[in-house]
Amino acid sequence: MPLNKQIKKVLVIGSGPIVIGQAAEFDYSGTQACQALREEGVEVVLINSNPATIMTDKEIADKIYIEPITLDYVIKVIEKEKPDSLLAGMGGQTALNMALELSEKGLLDHYNVKLIGTKIEGIKQGEDRALFKEMMLRIGEPMIQSEIVTDVLSGVNFAAQIGYPVIVRPAYTLGGTGGGIADDEVSLKAIIVSGLSNSPVGQVLIEKSIKGWKEVEYEVMRDANGNRISVCNMENFDPVGIHTGDSIVVAPSQTLSDKDYQMLRTSALNIIEAIGIEGGCNVQFALNPESFEYAVIEINPRVSRSSALASKATGYPIAKVAAKIALGYGLDEIKNAVTGVTYACFEPSLDYVVVKIPKWPFEKFFKAERTLGTKMMATGEIMAIGTNFEAAFLKGIRSLELGQYHLKHKKFMKLPLTQLKALVMKADDERIFALAELIRREYRLEQINAITGIDPWFLDKLKWIIDQETHIESLKLEQISSDMLRKLKRKGFSDKGIGDLIGISPEEVYDYRISLGIRAVFHMVDTCAGEFEAVSPYYYSSYETIDEVTVSNRDKIIVLGSGPIRIGQGIEFDYASVHCVNSLKRLGYETIIINSNPETVSTDFSIADKLYFEPLTEEDVLNVIEKENPIGVVLQFGGQTAIKLAKFLSERHIKIIGTDFEQIDLCEDREKFDAFLESVNVNRPTGKGVMSVKEGINIGRELGLPVLVRPSYVLGGQGMKICSNLIELEDYLVDAFIKDKKNPVLIDKYIVGKELEVDAITDGKNVLIPGIMEHIERAGIHSGDSMTVFPPQTVSDNMKQIIVETTETIALRLGVMGMINIQYIECEGILYVIEVNPRASRTVPYISKVSGVPIVDLATKVSLGMSLETLGYGTGLYAQPDLIAVKVPVFSTHKLPDVEISLGPEMKSTGEVLGIGRTYAEALYKGFIAAKNAPDIEKSSRKPVVLMTLNDEDKSSISEEDLPDTFDYCATRGTGVVLLSHGVTAIRVRKIGNEAPNLLDLITNGDIDLIVNTPTHGDDTKSDGFIMRRAASERNIPVFTSIDTYRAWNYASKIITSSSETDIYNMK
Amino acid sequence: MKARLILENGAVFEGEAFGYLDTQVGEVVFNTGMTGYQEVLTDPSYCGQIIVMTYPLIGNYGINLDDFESNSIKAKGLIVREKCAFSSNFRSEFELEQFLKHNKVLGIEGIDTRALTRMIRSRGTMRGIITTEDLSETEISSYIEDYSSKGVVYAVCTKTIERYNGLTTSSDEQHKKVALIDYGAKKNILRELLKRNCDVTIYPAWTSADEILKDQPDLVFLSNGPGNPEDLAPEIEEIKKLIGVKPIVGICLGHQLIALASEGETEKLKFGHRGCNHPVKDIGKNRVYITSQNHGYCVTKLPKDFEVTHVNVNDGSVEGMRHTLLPVFSVQFHPEASPGPRESDYLFDEFIAYAE
């Protein structure tokens, strides 16, 4: 069927803030979908609360609403824009749930909006476990023995019937939140309780555990005509039991015979036919490794993380094709963009192997429970392509940026076998290295298969790698023959990996390799295994014989992406990289992107002129540079991942476009930076770098406590802490020097003040400051985790002037070219600098959108030598926007067991939303609503109950203004006394451990709507505060751990009591 | 041991030998299927050909005794990027290497199969030699010149008439008598027919029309097979005698033979269609199916009174045709799959519906 001409205006719902289980992949798919719709002349109206996305750019949609994705605001958009259709399959679970809610309330009919793509009935059948099970039964597709329960007792009874272990899966949640595997009745009860409260419909599925079965996924598509294809299948390295988002995944499947493969493919196609999918769908199977027995685990009737991965793995643009299908096209009417001659109705054939490895946040949350299970915990992932499994796998390992270039991991080398075995059986984020060590010690592969369920095929491949590593260690470089080195390179060994094993530098291996004429070549990802001539500019490296890249004679610039998404380095950097590419394209350069993250817009092969899907390591980046010979490389938009390469590139005399290595180093080397600030007369909190515990204690005494301590060279406040006494300081220092003896620990005087931040652009002569951001929480909370308002609300004109002057001084005197981000503290009228980053920061997307200054575009232009004065946005502080924007961080801590919730100098948030308003209160209100991290008073059926437990400092600062009579209060004894002194009678709560009802009981019973808990110490998993915060988080009860956040919320909710008092704003 | 592939254009690819050490000449073709190497190797349609698998890792799930498409390897050689020596699948009974060795077939690994595929794609299918020996120029050219695909059908087809009864033994009237003329039939054609309760008699390719008619079949089924259909002039003459007398259906080579027997024309494709991902539109149903394909020739001129029933979505070539008046229907692709998607097995029901 051709284009449905009745579709003229489509509302697209985005996925909102980045959380674990719902990340950048929906910006990729949403952006692709919006573009596909507009290509057909359809008007696109977009709603997404996440400002750090490409899809909310003015180039992507016709109307852009950066508004909360809640029923109220979606309705406001529908009423204002009157779209005729809704596309809900692009914004993950968030959009799908919204579509269901709209439909169930009859609002789609009411507003005459047609859902395009998969119909509501299909979505329900795919999402509702009972309906899905019924459907599978009807079409004869096997499922795992299971039952849906809505209460604990039925669950326990059913488990007794089918036998333990059982898996608990809550309905309608993303990333399996609140689920888990239960080995006995006690653990089952606990998991059911958590699952029921996480499921918006109060349902959980109890199912027979099929641990050890293979997990296989199919990405399939169907059009309204019933044409069906399988785009890609994938085999999980980790068997069933570990969430696929936390599994190493290989595409295509490796250990399935054609019969196995076709059996599951047929099943997947039958399922989407029965459900009536119109677009993309993901089908997950469990396959008994000993027979043809299989079971359908679940489906996702929409694009997903897996479909993004499949798109990047095959070159097949699933989201784009899904959008075209939604408009009425048949698969056989949509051109294959990769070949330009064939159609979308075919199945990609791969002639390479793809490996995906998750990236977990445990570098940040080292105290968290890291055991992997049915709940997804990874924040991001990398993908690697190779001509064999080993090559893709080793590329993948080094793409993770763990400092691992081979499988030998220091941490596991000294562990006893029993411990290694336990680690391998338990499966955590570092399991792969424990596994490698166990294989190195010649533990029998068959037995590893028995205890882990990992297929022997994968184990055999790992063993080959490990055997080579052991062999290499016994050799000198010149003993490695040309044939052997070529073989190692073909199998993905890096120069650094080989060098480390021999004990020499990677440069020596590189020089030797080049002397033997062994160089990387590049192949095309063409969807068809070379059968047709392809036009896709999408490449990966190998050490085979032919190179398929045609190097043009145009001026080329390489833009480095930012690798896997992790806390502190998220989607914002992908946004900046993509904008840089667009800017360079407009300037007439040939653009080349290198990145390893399959979830992103930047790795869509239609973004840059060429895409190299490669690890962002020195060697892999150099390979591309040697091939393409660009005029320069842009680092400043790729976060710390790209910046880290500055030294290497500089040593190789490769031009860095924008700020050069010396200036970058000046910002990151503490001593040089201090000297610099002194030379330009800028204040910073006094402090010093120390190299020993003793020295640190002395400095701590000298500065006076509290002090802020952190390791040098950091991003996202990794390992940062505020120490309020010498014992804490000593503990920190001892721990830090165990981890890293070579680099200093920095100790600063901790200044409590107002935190301010600027992103600025400089051409070396002038500085443009698009805006000053004011943090709502006082200093001490990581800038990524604090709420921020732009333009500032409480900064005097005089102070603004000081900020502008100081920013100009720093930017110009440092010699920065392009982007600079500076964080300040204002304390008693004095401005202190706390951090300078000579690169784009995570605030760039939102400031660009609110201020209207195309920051990345300007920064790209000045980096190439253009003058700010000629670019049309002036210099100095840019005019304040009419609208006020409040950025609110969003956390995924409830998905990570044992992670501290209270905010501090360590960044914890995974995403952010923006609240936009004419007034500060309106912006705040919408920010809180969008982030869903404060009680929704409007929807509350009772007077909200606030539980307060405050630290001494906050006790003394609290006033009647903080305690409006619109709430009821509960408090622990000390705080209760203070409240009483302000005329507020709070219900006294007993501490945890005391007789019921105590603090924990109130939380568990749902008697509390908000917790305001300002802790004295964080991170102590045994403390009452910690237990209380975790309990609240797991039950989705909002917790404010800074009195400033509470005050902001209190302020907003006094002025605005209902969403009807707020407006929506088209950001275009 | 080193082994080489020498192509008729002079290109040489060097790799490591595995399987049976030998020298063979054949037509070098590539297959883009990511699974199904066992079915491909034993598919009689590959007789006389050296197969290049574009998927780089071959042998991962071993070889089993159930997935044969004939009782031995029919291909002349196998070229892969990397063979797997350690297979993993619950049905794996042999490793690929040993399977090749005992079938006396040479394999070469360590070849840049993408480079080779691209060469075949741009130059067209070429003859080539695989060898572990050092051949002189004259030896090479004599090998190449001696190569012919003539007679491949006779080499692979059954030599005697074989009879099979449909799977259910109940003597209801469902049982149709199918005469399967074997030009190199894949076993799965037989399996699909038996599954549908047909009693199948398999005849050697050279069987006369009279002999077949004597058995009074309800349906004549022309199988797939290797080589150039134009080489089978005597067989085409026999088919002419059957058209209009008995319902006739065909797959692949059988389809091409029907075209030639009805004054249609076939031509050699530049590099053929071999793989499991070829989209074919069933015009009647207005639906596209992903099909398994293996053919080097195709019907370029439709015979008189025939209509196209199936078309290749990628290149528009004829994938199926039907006589507008007589019960004659055939497809170019492989509804029996093995390897490949099974979704066009509905065609077996359509074939059988032609039975008298």
Whether B273 is a known active-site residue: answer no
Instruction: Give the distance from residue A447's alpha carbon to the nearest chain B alpha carbon, in angstroms.
Output: 15
A99 and A159 part of one domain: no
Instruction: Give yes or no for a contact between A611 and A41, defined as CB atoms under 8 angstroms apart.
Output: no
Are A345 and B313 an interchain contact pair (Cβ–Cβ within 8 Å)?
yes
Cis peptide bond prior to B339, omega within 30° of 0: yes
A32 and A177 part of one domain: no
Domain ranges of chain B: 2-147, 154-353
Distances (CA, A) of A69 to A192, A844, A928, B106: 28, 22, 12, 62
Residue A69 is which amino acid?
A: I
A833 and A900 part of one domain: no
Instruction: Give yes or no for a contact between A317 and A311, defined as CB atoms under 8 angstroms apart.
Output: yes
Q: Which of A1006, A918, A666 is nearest to A816 (CA)?
A: A666
Phi, psi of A28 (to 5 degrees): -60, -50
User: CATH number of the domain that A585 lies in?
Assistant: 3.40.50.20
Cα separation of B196 and B349, whole Å? 8
What is the share, in percent, of chain A residues with pLDDT greater than 90? 81
* Structural domain span for residue A735: 686-747
What's the pLDDT at A277? 97
The active-site residue, picked from B47, B175, B334, B350, is B334
Query: Helix or strand or coil: residue A368?
Result: coil
Instruction: Give the distance from residue B285's alpha carbon to the nearest chain A alpha carbon, in angstroms.
Output: 10
Can you read off the two tokens belonging to residue A23? 């990340």
Is A408 inside any structural domain?
no
The active-site residue, picked from B252, B276, B295, B319, is B252
Are A529 and B87 an interchain contact pair (Cβ–Cβ within 8 Å)?
no
The active-site residue, picked from B8, B109, B192, B336, is B336
pLDDT of A541-575, one tens digit each? Answer: 999 999 999 999 999 999 999 999 999 999 999 99
Burial-class residue A1063 by CB neighbours within 10 Å (0-12, 13-18, 19+): middle
Count how many pairs of residues, chain A against chain B, have C-beta atoms within 8 Å.
156
Can you read off the two tokens belonging to residue A701? 């005494």
Cα separation of A235 and A212, whole Å? 13
Are A266 and B343 an interchain contact pair (Cβ–Cβ within 8 Å)?
yes
Q: Which residue of A has its CA nearest to B341?
A: A262
Interchain contact A547–B (C-beta under 8 A): no
Cα separation of A212 and A616, whole Å? 34
Burial-class residue A826 by CB neighbours within 10 Å (0-12, 13-18, 19+): buried
pLDDT of A984-1019, one tens digit each? Answer: 999 999 888 888 888 888 998 889 999 999 987 655
pLDDT of A898-935, one tens digit each? Answer: 888 999 888 999 999 999 999 999 999 999 999 999 98
User: CATH number of the domain that A938 lies in?
Assistant: 3.40.50.1380
Q: Which of A91, A53, A55 is nearest to A574 (CA)?
A: A53
What's the pLDDT at A797? 96
Is A415 inside any structural domain?
no
Cα separation of A280 and A212, whole Å? 28
Q: Which helix (H) or strand (E) holds A824?
A: strand A818-827
User: CATH number of the domain that A849 lies in?
Assistant: 3.30.470.20
pLDDT at A174 over 70: no
pLDDT at A302 over 60: yes
pLDDT at A713 over 50: yes
Residue B241: CA atoms inside 13 Å, Cβ hemisphere, count? 12
Interchain contact A457–B (C-beta under 8 A): yes
- The verdict on ipTM greater than 0.85 is yes
| Residue A606 CA to its chain's centroid (Å) | 22
Q: Which residue of B has its CA nearest to A534?
A: B118
Interchain contact A257–B (C-beta under 8 A): yes
pLDDT of A610-643, one tens digit each? Answer: 999 999 999 999 999 999 999 999 999 999 999 9
Interface test with B, best of A222, A232, A258 (most B CBs within 10 A): A258
User: Cβ contacts (< 8 Å) between A255 and chain B: which residues?
Assistant: 60-61, 88-89
A787 and A895 part of one domain: no
A1000 and A851 part of one domain: no
- Angle between helices A417-426 and A431-440 in degrees, nearest 10: 140
Cα separation of A607 and B81, whole Å? 32
Are A262 and B337 an interchain contact pair (Cβ–Cβ within 8 Å)?
yes
- CATH class entry, domain B2-147: alpha beta
Residue A754 is which amino acid?
A: K
Instruction: Give the distance from residue A450's alpha carbon to the nearest chain B alpha carbon, in angstroms.
Output: 14
What's the pLDDT at A715? 46
User: Cβ contacts (< 8 Å) between A343 and chain B: which residues?
Assistant: 279, 313-314
Cβ of A741: how many Cβ atoms within 10 Å? Answer: 9
Mean pLDDT to the nearest integer, A79-84: 98
Based on C-alpha coordinates, what's the Rg of chain B?
20
pLDDT at A689 over 90: no
Maximal CA-CA distance, chain B: 65
What's the pLDDT at A739? 74
Interchain contact B277–A (C-beta under 8 A): yes
A938 and A1024 part of one domain: yes
pLDDT of B220-230, one tens digit each? Answer: 999 999 999 99
Split at pLDDT 50, 70, 90, the class of B176 is: very high
Residues 61-90 of B with CB under 8 A from A: 61, 64, 67, 81-82, 84, 86-90
Are A257 and B281 an interchain contact pair (Cβ–Cβ within 8 Å)?
no
Can you read off the two tokens belonging to residue B34? 């990511």
Whole-angstrom distance between the N-terminal and C-terminal Cα of chain B? 57
Query: Strand pairing partners for B77?
Result: B50, B106
Averaging pLDDT over each range in A717-721, A751-755, A1013-1017, B300-304, which range is the top one? B300-304
User: Could you identify the residue written with the tokens 């930076």?
Assistant: A673
Whether B298 is a known active-site residue: answer no
Can you read off the two tokens belonging to residue A1006? 């749902």
Annotated binding residues of B, as ranges?
Answer: 45, 225, 227, 253, 256, 294, 296-297
Residue B222 is which amino acid?
A: L
Are B340 and A532 an interchain contact pair (Cβ–Cβ within 8 Å)?
no
Dihedral sign from CA coordinates of A319, A325, A331, A333: negative
Maximal CA-CA distance, chain A: 84
Are B314 and A532 an interchain contact pair (Cβ–Cβ within 8 Å)?
yes
Are B90 and A291 an interchain contact pair (Cβ–Cβ within 8 Å)?
yes
A27 and A167 part of one domain: no
Is A435 inside any structural domain?
no
| Residue A471 CA to its chain's centroid (Å) | 38
Is A274 inside any structural domain?
no
Cα separation of A970 and A309, whole Å? 48
Instruction: Give yes or no for a contact between B170 and B203, defined as CB atoms under 8 angstroms apart.
Output: no
Is A980 inside any structural domain?
yes
Mean pLDDT to the nearest integer, B91-111: 98
Residues 309-348 of A with CB under 8 A from B: 330-332, 341-343, 345-348
Whether B235 is a known active-site residue: answer no
Mean pLDDT to the nearest integer, B111-121: 97
CATH architecture type of domain B154-353: 3-Layer(aba) Sandwich (3.40)
Can you read off the two tokens belonging to residue B92? 């794996």
* Partner residue opposite A266 with nearest CB, options B115, B117, B342: B342
Cα separation of A495 and A473, whole Å? 14
Cα separation of A751 and A707, whole Å? 8
* Partner residue opposite B115 with nearest CB, options A226, A345, A545: A545
Interface test with A, best of B4, B16, B32, B34 (most A CBs within 10 A): B34
What's the pLDDT at A1? 67
Q: Which residues contact B285 (CB under 8 A, 6 or more apart)?
A: none
A727 and A777 part of one domain: no
Interchain contact A953–B (C-beta under 8 A): no
pLDDT at A111 over 50: yes
Residue A155 is which amino acid?
A: G
Mean pLDDT to the nearest integer, A15-30: 95
Cα separation of A455 and A237, whole Å? 7
Interchain contact B334–A (C-beta under 8 A): no
Residues 510-529 of A with CB under 8 A from B: 523, 528-529
Cα separation of A7 and A520, whole Å? 48
Distances (CA, A) of A220 to A123, A136, A344, A806, B340: 15, 17, 12, 56, 16
pLDDT at A716 over 70: no
Can you read off the two tokens belonging to residue A92? 């993950």
Burial-class residue A778 by CB neighbours within 10 Å (0-12, 13-18, 19+): middle
Instruction: Give yes or no for a contact between A89 and A277, defined as CB atoms under 8 angstroms apart.
Output: no
What is the share, in percent, of chain B residues with pLDDT greater than 70? 99
Interchain contact B124–A (C-beta under 8 A): no
Are A258 and B67 an interchain contact pair (Cβ–Cβ within 8 Å)?
yes
Q: Please state the domain count of chain A.
A: 6
* Partner residue opposite A347 with nearest CB, options B54, B277, B287: B277
Residues 168-197 of B with CB under 8 A from A: none
Can you read off the two tokens belonging to residue A879? 């005019």
pLDDT of A634-643, one tens digit each? Answer: 999 999 999 9
What's the pLDDT at B173? 62
Distances (CA, A) of A851 to A435, A843, A883, A1067: 51, 12, 9, 10
Distances (CA, A) of A148 to A93, A166, A171, A185, B155: 20, 13, 9, 17, 60
Instruction: Give yes or no for a contact between B294 and B278, defined as CB atoms under 8 angstroms apart.
Output: no
Cα separation of A598 and A540, whole Å? 13
pLDDT at A1020 over 80: no
pLDDT of B8-62, one tens digit each? Answer: 999 999 999 999 999 999 999 999 999 999 999 999 999 999 999 999 999 999 9
Interchain contact B311–A (C-beta under 8 A): no
Per DSSP, the residues of A544-611 read SS---PPPPSS-EEEEE---S-BTTB-HHHHHHHHHHHHHHHHTT-EEEEEE--TTSSTTSTTTSSEE
Is A244 inside any structural domain?
no
pLDDT of A824-875, one tens digit each? Answer: 999 999 999 999 999 999 999 999 999 999 999 999 999 999 999 999 999 9
- Angle between helices A506-515 and A495-502 in degrees, nearest 10: 120
Instruction: Give the distance from residue A252's alpha carbon to the nearest chain B alpha carbon, in angstroms.
Output: 8
Are A530 and B275 an interchain contact pair (Cβ–Cβ within 8 Å)?
no
pLDDT of A571-589, one tens digit each? Answer: 999 999 999 999 999 999 9
User: CATH number of the domain that A701 lies in?
Assistant: 3.30.1490.20
A646 and A782 part of one domain: no
Mean pLDDT to the nearest integer, A108-119: 97
Are B288 and A289 an interchain contact pair (Cβ–Cβ within 8 Å)?
no
Q: Which of A359, A570, A345, A388 is nearest to A491 (CA)?
A: A388
pLDDT of A755-777, one tens digit each? Answer: 999 999 999 999 999 999 999 99
Mean pLDDT, chain A, rounded, equals: 94
Is A30 inside any structural domain?
yes
A152 and A32 part of one domain: no
Q: Which residues contact A829 (CB under 8 A, 6 or more apart)?
A: A799
Is A460 inside any structural domain?
no
Residue A225: CA atoms inside 13 Å, Cβ hemisphere, count? 23
Interface test with B, best of A257, A351, A385 (most B CBs within 10 A): A257
What's the pLDDT at B172? 60
Phi-psi region of B289 (alpha: psi -120 to 50; beta: other; left: phi over 0): beta
